[in-house]
A = this chain, B = another copy of it.
Amino acid sequence: MKDTYEKTVISKATIDRLPLYFRNLRLSQEGGIEIISSEELGRRLGITPEQIRKDLASFGQFGKKGVGYYIKELISNIGKILGLDNNWHLAVIGVGHLGWALANYSNFDSLGFKLVAMFDTDPNRIGQCIKGIPVSNLNRLKEVMQEQTIHIGIIAVPEMYAQEVADQLVAAGVRGIWNFAPLKIKVPDTVRVINEDLSVGLSSLSFYLARQTQIR
């Protein structure tokens, strides 16, 4: 299967929908469902069944016509496509409220991500533990990263420090950055960045509510 999807050009929109499929299929599985049609999955996600069939067909043949998708198999395959079988090691930089919440977020564990380090500059924070992992002084970033592999750095520091932290993560050899600071950080092409903007979800909700207001 690896061969199939490596040769295919996949749109960013499709990639962004895969975690949504993954998440919803897991919820369905927890609800005891074993087989799901593209129509039902589409209804749950607000995506057309055609789009779902097209997205999943980019990666191989997962469904059976007239029956649907076998959920267990589909979850395993999407997991592989998403690379969740790599057991990525995470570090949280900036253990304020957001960083603390992220470090505690149980969904990450269930997807195979592993928190291995946390960093802050606040002496009151340094030494505190989450899941048995202590908060280290940020000035020990490179040192800690040499002791243990960190694939992904999660930036949860205030905006004014985000670029500096990104530079330190890059220098320490991180592969990917998940950035919560409302700022476009600059990194070399070899490092992947996903910018998370929490206002996107809230703005979508605003859109739907505004249209309800106008229509009623």
Contacts and interface: CB of A to CB of B under 8 A. Distances in A.
Interface of A: 2, 6, 12-13, 15-16, 18-20, 22-23, 27, 44, 46-47, 81-84, 86, 88, 96-98, 100-102, 104-108, 111, 113, 151-152, 175-176, 178, 182-184, 192, 194, 196-215
B6 A214 contact: yes
Contacts of A192: 205, 208-209, 212
A27 B104 CA distance: 30
Nearest to A107: B199
Contact of A86 (B102, B182, B210, B215): B210
> Which 6 residue pairs across A and B have the least CB separation, nearest first?
A83-B210, A19-B203, A98-B101, A97-B101, A19-B200, A97-B100
B101 A206 contact: no
A199 B6 contact: no
A206 B22 contact: no
A167 to B, nearest CB: 19
A205 B18 CA distance: 12
What DSSP secondary structure best describes chain A's contact surface? helix
A23 B210 contact: no
A203 B18 contact: yes
Contacts of A214: 2, 6
Contacts of A84: 203, 206
11 contacts: A6-B215, A18-B204, A19-B200, A22-B203, A82-B204, A97-B104, A107-B197, A108-B199, A111-B206, A192-B209, A196-B201
Given A82-B204, A83-B206, A101-B101, 4 more contacts: A86-B213, A107-B197, A192-B205, A194-B202
A149 B152 CA distance: 41
B176 A111 contact: no
Contacts of A104: 97
A206 to B, nearest CB: 4
A22 B207 CA distance: 12
Given A12-B46, A199-B23, A201-B194, A209 B176 contact: yes
